[in-house]
Amino acid sequence: MKKVAILIGLCFCCVELRGDWFEEFKRNSSDEELHQFLYEMPKGGDLHHHLTGSIFSEDWYELAIASSEFGYLYFTKVAINNCRRYGDIGFDQYLIHYRNISENNWEKLSECEKSEYLPLAEMNDRQLEDWSNAIRLDKKHEGRNEFFERHWQRLGDLLTDPYIMKGISLKNLQHLADEGLLYAEPQVPVAGWVKPDGTPIGSSDAAQLLRDALDEPDFKETGMTWRFQLSILRMLPTAEEQLIEAYKFVTANKPWVAVNMVGREDDDKGYPLRFLTTFR
């Protein structure tokens, strides 16, 4: 820590340093010292910030359990009993452990598939640890595929709960404020929200729910300034139509200020020139 403090002081005073000082520092410092050095440096600029990809597992669990107060109950997949037969219609990823669904959607499953799920509140300690790790990149082999093809698929119906979305917005700002941030511009989705019985909540109503929340004392006490972005998945066949609708939404709804075109870098269907005519 002392070494880091001295180096940061040297960075911002008039002491002349050799051109290779940072390379020498990297070679001779531990991972902890390198992390602390970068943490202490003043920074600005863009933080590519998926709100729903930036939340601690503990926060997801706490909010999912607390949402029962508002009538939302969740189940998670703890077993695979081979309930699907060859040729069965289904677009969800069946072979994923710890996929989360609402009670409303659980009721629609076959008895066999119902047996694969357990209420979140009934998980034992080992299952809770596995559930938590399932939405972390905690293994060396986990990377882009795990993040893009498993993370949001596992979160599932948790992403459609307005009280969870309000909660993760608050917790994210609180955590960022604790890190010394003054401004954040997360990608905050409003599509697909539902009531406990599955009744859709329109995007405009969802936006108003969040705006009302932002006026609450807990949000203001973070001291943060925020604006929101709305994301679209740029490689989908309907991405151009989504872009048009997203711009309309952002224009009409504060504090949303931008559209972020997200997606895997290695999927070439979202190439920039595809959207040139739409932008013009």
Centre a 10 Å sphere on the Cβ of residue 24 and count the other Cβ atoms it contains: 10
Bridge-based pairing state of the strands 117-119 and 74-77: antiparallel
Q: Where are the alpha helices (DSSP H) in 147-265?
A: 152-155, 162-178, 203-214, 217-220, 239-252
Q: What is the DSSP letter of 229?
A: E
Q: Over the stretch 204-217, which tens digit does the pLDDT of each residue have?
A: 999 999 999 999 99
Question: What does the pLDDT read at residue 11?
Answer: 52
Segment 115-166, tens digit of pLDDT? 999 999 999 999 999 999 999 988 889 888 888 889 999 999 999 999 999 9
Q: What is the pLDDT of residues 24-82, one digit of tens each?
A: 888 999 999 998 988 887 766 666 688 999 899 999 999 999 999 999 999 999 999 99
The pLDDT of residue 1: 54
Is residue 8 pLDDT above 60, yes or no? no
Instruction: Report yes or no: 100 and 158 within 8 Å, Cβ to Cβ.
Output: yes
pTM of the model: 0.84
